[in-house]
Structure 1
Amino acid sequence: MLDTTQSDTDAPPEEPRGCLYALSQPPLMIFLAVIGCLLLMASLHDLLLL
């Protein structure tokens, strides 16, 4: 028969990390800001200069 009791040495399960955790990472935010600035510059160029 299997022993199904939990011992005190087991590590607690990690909480799942959602979308807000991913968006809070600085490299991702810098990447999204650069892409956003490029899109803004392209749209302003199309609207004002062409």
Structure 2
Amino acid sequence: MLDTSREPLPASPEAPADEPRGCLFALSQPPLMIFLGVIGCLLLMAALHDLFVL
């Protein structure tokens, strides 16, 4: 049988309960910013190729 009780989960030491984490916290992570930077550079290179080479 599933446990459907609504007991609060213990707070982890990394995430204080009074400080919610949202989109800005996710964007401050270096791997995500590196990934978005690489994708942005690829899109920029494709746009410049279309404008100046084709």
- From 1, 10, 31, give the equivalent of 1:27: 31
How large is the Cα RMSD of the aligned pairs? 2.0
Matches within 5 A, 1:2-17: 13=17, 15-17=19-21
Give structure 1 stretches of 5+ with no counterpart.
1-9
Give structure 2 stretches of 5+ with no counterpart.
1-9
* Max Rg structure: 1
TM-score (norm 1): 0.71
Q: Which runs of 4+ in 1 moved over 2 A?
A: 10-15
Quote the residue 1:42 is aligned against: 46
Q: Deviations over 1:5-43 (max 9, x none)?
A: xxxxx7563532011000000000000000000000000
TM-score (norm 2): 0.66
Count of aligned pairs between the two proteins: 41
